[in-house]
Structure 1
């Protein structure tokens, strides 16, 4: 598949590639579920930067409550800049290989679209990056939305002493930092449409309201209808 042709939806701290012409109801269910899961995690666990493990646990638990079924998952944690005895394959690339996804094409599609829109890149940084005295943090998720719907997601939490503004997004995603630590979580989720159906309309309305107040979502070439937002 041509990953560069996929539309990019920025939902909080997630950059989600969407296949062109995807079923509108499936796409909307994924977008609304993703924003809701992040907002619930913020409420239950606080900032994703302060306790990433607790935040991510609350985030994925919310998907289950909405009717998303976990079909695969992975976890890795490591110090950056250290020699790797098992070769050059990084956790993000390894996870995408397992899910039959072309790693370089996905990263290029996400970073390429963001590099052409300063507003989009600024929107993502607002939710996924924090610079503080002596320590900078990034918690970013990239993913693919497939028919079903199925979402393949990889969340990356990085901590380094260099200001995040000193790095390109492609560097962060390819794990080329020379120092710091990183945590990787991959998950694939498939929606049980029957379980999701009773809450579909209420969730869409609630997320539209939240987005009007918080501007959580930004779309690049995504197909939008009805109450969808910029």
Structure 2
């Protein structure tokens, strides 16, 4: 089994795919062959856009993945841009459906980056949430959070859920150009609360190594 990293976020449109693409580069630079997996994607029209971005980015560094198809990378696709529970009309999703596609990907890589949909508490069906995918895959989680006002609350809520679930994780802040207040409104408390603050664009190599350390521990 390859090393598994589950990329999630504090909400939708926080930067999971952007972060996953940077992780592909970082792990590849460390000498690993990297695979990608997006088990569920909603809001799919002609093709799964997030999954396609991940697949194309990974194939640049790991040409062995070219033997796969986009359907392997994104096995469950729904048209409605909503939580899987809603997009799939509340029907049960059997997690074992994800195993065969993951096995094909893992045969071609040392590390697989598994990107979730939305945040940790997005409902997949009546019994499971997105966080249950991280547990099912036995993966270390990278929590991607934002840097605008409100990030303290959103980040701590997600951290509490991960800690209560006893899942290993690393946190990365995806600061964008418009997040001009982060240094004055949020960072002072975050520096007080945590020993290290990782920023996605500045510290991706450090984040990659921290994830490896978490997997190894």
TM tier, shorter chain?
Answer: under 0.3
Q: Which structure has more RCO (C-alpha within 8 Å, separation ≥ 6)?
A: 1
Q: Identify the structure with the greater strand proportion.
A: 1
